[in-house]
Amino acid sequence: MELSWFKKGTIYQIYPRSFNDSNNDGIGDLRGIIEKLDYLKSLHIDILWLSPIFSSPNDDNGYDISDYCAIMPEFGTMEDFDELLRETHQRGMRLVLDLVANHCSDEHVWFEEAKKSKNNPYRDYFHWRKPAQDGGPPNNWKSFFGGSAWEFDEASEEYYLHLFTKKQPDLNWENPKLRQEIYDAMRFWLDKGVDGFRMDVIPLISKREAYPDAPNVGFRKIIEDVYANGPKVHEYLNEMKREVVNHYDAFSLAEGVGINHETAGLYVDCDREELDMLYHFDILECTIVNGKFEEVSAFDLTNMKTIFKRWRDALHEKGWLANALGNHDFARMVSRFGNDTKYWSESAKMLLIMQATQNGTLNIYQGDEIGMTNIVLDSIEEVRDVQSLNFYNENLKTKRYSVNSALERINKEGRDNARTPLQWSDEINGGFSVGEPWLKVNANYKRINVKNQEQDKNSILNFYRRLLKTRKQYDVFVYGDFEELEFDNPNIYIYEKTYANEKIMVALNFSVGDIDFKGFSAISNIEIILNNYEELVINGDGMTLKPYQGIILKID
C-alpha cells in the first residue's frame, strides 16, 4: 500500500484536556477541537494526533485506559467523535489516535476481573509474580514514575507489574487473547475511518519473563536493555501490522522509548513490516543527563547536531522518523532549546526552521505555533502531573533535595509545562474556558496568544503558516541529502540539502550574538525562501547572522 502521504505531512499533536473547552467545565473536549478545525487547517497541518480520548480515571490523564472503545465522558460522546472525524476529513486532514497498549487502567474490567482470583480467565492478561524470599517485590525494577514497578495485591498475595503508576498495570502480550482484544479495539477505530495510531511506549510490550534484576547503570540503559526491546516485541509488532494495520490506509507512529539509532531499523525498516515511523528520545532528552528531575546539562548545539546526524546516517533509506522537539511529556521547546525572554520570537521561529528541514515527518505540538513557554507553578498544590507529584512525594521521604529545589526541578522539567491550557486570546483564562481550568493558565497569556498573533504578520503563528505551506512545495526539506558546514562551531548550525534538482542552505544562529559565517563564495545564485528577520546581511563571501537568526536559502 502506498503510504507516502504521511511522510511529507505535518502532524499536529493535540492534548485534548488543554486544547479548547467548549462547555466551560475547565477541561478541554472534543467539541472544543471541532470549533478549532478551521484554525488547524489554516496552519497547513495534515494530520491531527489526539492524546488519549478514551474512558479513563485519569491517573495519568488518559494514558490509563479503562475502556478502549468508549469516549471519556469529560471529553464528550461518540457522536462528538464521529463528527470530529467527519469534519477533519472534510477539511482534507487526517486523524490519528493514541493507542496505549502496554498497560491499561486498574479500573479496566480486565484488571478488576483479574484481581478476583488466580483462576480468573483475565488473570493472565497481566503480569503476576510471587513475592521474593523476604516478602518484597520480585525484583528491583523501578517504575518510570518513581518507586518499585511492582504492587502487592493483598488478596492473592502476589505482585503485579506496572512500569508506570500502580494504576497502570502492564498488559501481558504473551497471551494471544489479550493481543486479539487490542487488535479488535484498533479495528473498531480504523473501521470508523481513523487514519492510524500513535503507539504509546510500544517497545515495552514484550517482557523478559525471567524478570532479571536491573543492573546498576543509568536509567536510560536499563530501559534499553531490560524494559524495552524484549524477546518477542518484533514478532508482536509484525503480527499487528499483518493482522490489522495493513488492512487499512493507516499508519503507525511509535513512541521510541528505549530505541537507539542502532536498534531503530528493527522497528521501522519497511521490509520488516512492523511500524511506519517513530520519534526517538535522543533529541527530546538531550539536556537530561540521568533521568528527569535529576542531573541536567546546559543545551549543547554540537550534541544536538551529532544526534541528528547519527540518526540520519543510521536510518538512511531504511526507515522513517518523525521529528519532534517537544510534546506533552517535556518542557516547552522554546524554553529548553531557544530563548524565552529577549529572543523569544526569533528563537521560536528558528527552531521551527531547524525542525522543518530535518528529514522525516514534521511533528509539532500544540501551542508551539505561538511560542508558548514554560510556566512557574508557585506551590506543589498547583502541580497536576503524576510524574512530578510522585517525584515530589518520594523526595519528601528521601529528602534528597530541599522542598524548594524539588519544585524548581518540576518547574524546569515537569510535564505540566507543556500541558497548560492553549492561549487563544487575552480574555479570561486565555480564552480556553471561562470555568476554572484544570491546570493553571500561563500568566503570559495576555501577551502570548493566538488572537494577537493572528493580527501580526510577523508573529510566530504566521511564520509557522508560511513555513508549513512552503514545506509542501519542496521535497528537499523532507528527503534531501545533507552536507554540514561548520560542524564544530558550537553556536551555529549550517547545512546544505540536495534532492533531485532542488538545493537549499539552512543557516541557524543559536546564540545571542551576531555571528559571521564565511564560506559563501561557492554559491552563485541565492534566493531567500524564509528568514525570521527582515534582513539578511551579506558581506562579500559570507553573511552575518543576527541573534537566533534562521534562514532557508535556495541555492544553485
Q: Annotated active-site positions, please?
A: 200, 255
Strand order in 542-545's β-sheet? 515-517, 542-545, 537-539
| Residue 27, binding choice from Ca ion, ligand GLC, none, Cβ under 5 to 8 Å by partner class | Ca ion
Closer residue to Ca ion (CB): 18 or 361: 18
> Nearest approach, Cβ of 294 to ligand GLC (angstroms)?
17
**C-alpha to C-alpha distance for 162 and 16, rounded to whole angstroms:** 25
CB contact at 8 A, 104 and 148 = no
Indicate which single residue of 5, 23, 217, 428 sits in contact with Ca ion (rule: CB under 5 A).
23
> Closer CB to ligand GLC, residue 143 or residue 345?
143
Which residue, 29, 7, 9, 11, is CA-closest to 20? 29
Q: Which is nearer to ligand GLC, 12 or 495 (CB)?
A: 12
Residue closest to ligand GLC when measured from CB atoms: 63
Q: What is the CA radius of gyration of the chain?
A: 23
Which residue in 3, 7, 8, 25 binds Ca ion (CB under 5 A)? 25
Query: Of the two residues 57 and 193, which places its CB atom closer to ligand GLC in the complex?
Result: 57
Please state, as a whole number, how many other Cβ atoms lie within 10 Å of the Cβ of residue 215: 10
Q: Nearest approach, Cβ of 281 to ligand GLC (angstroms)?
A: 9
Structural contact between residues 97 and 216, judged by C-beta atoms closer than 8 angstroms: no
Among 12, 15, 54, 63, binds ligand GLC (CB under 6 A): 63
- With CB under 5 to 8 Å by kind, the binding choice for 200 among Ca ion, ligand GLC, none is ligand GLC
**DSSP string for 389-408:** HHHHHHHHHH--S-HHHHHH
Q: Which does 369 bind (CB under 5 to 8 A by kind): Ca ion, ligand GLC, none?
A: none
Residue closer to ligand GLC by CB (options 179, 292) is 292
The grid cell for 81 is: 467523535
Choose from Ca ion, ligand GLC, none: what does 25 bind? Cβ within 5-8 Å by kind: Ca ion
Binds 164: which of ligand GLC, Ca ion, none (CB < 5-8 Å by kind): ligand GLC
276 is a site residue for Ca ion (CB under 5 A): no
Residue identified by cell 472503545 is 69
Closest distance of CB 341 from ligand GLC, Å? 28
Q: Which residue of this chain has its Cβ atom nearest to Ca ion in the complex?
A: 29
Find out whether 441 and 414 touch, Cβ atoms under 8 Å.
no
Cell of 388: 512530578
Q: Is residue 227 near ligand GLC by the rule CB under 6 A?
A: no
Q: ∠ CA 302-512-509 to the nearest 5 degrees? A: 45
Which candidate, 87, 12, 20, 99, places its Cα nearest to that of 53? 99
User: How near is the Cβ of 34 to Ca ion at its closest, in Å?
Assistant: 12
Binding mask 299-338 for ligand GLC (x = CB under 6 A): -----------------------------xx---------
Say how far apart CA 550 and CA 543 lie, in whole Å.
Answer: 12
Stretch that binds Ca ion, among 7-15, 21-29, 322-330, 539-547 (CB under 5 A): 21-29
What does 100 interact with, of ligand GLC, Ca ion, none (CB < 5 to 8 A by kind)?
ligand GLC
Integer Cα distance of 255 and 267 in angstroms: 11
Report if residue 416 touches ligand GLC, rule: CB under 6 A.
no
Per CB under 6 A, contacts with ligand GLC among 228-267 are 255
What are the cell numbers at 220?
A: 536510560
Sheet holding 361-365, edge to edge: 277-279, 251-255, 196-199, 94-99, 47-50, 10-14, 361-365, 322-323
As a whole number of angstroms, the distance between CA 19 and CA 421 comes to 6
> Given the complex with Ca ion, which of 21 and 496 has the nearer CB atom?
21
First-to-final CA distance of the chain: 36
- Beta-sheet strands, E only, within 63-171: 67-71, 94-99, 128-129, 150-153, 158-161
- Taking CA atoms, 555 is separated from 446, 468, 498, 524, in Å, by 41, 20, 10, 7
Q: How many CA atoms lie within 13 A of 224 on its CB side?
A: 14
For position 164 contacting ligand GLC by CB under 6 A, the verdict is yes
**In the stretch 186-205, what mask flags binding to ligand GLC with x, by CB under 6 A?**
--------------xx----
Q: Which of 60, 74, 181, 276 touches ligand GLC (CB under 6 A)?
A: 60
Which residues contact ligand GLC (rule: CB under 6 A)? 60, 63, 100, 164, 200-201, 255, 328-329
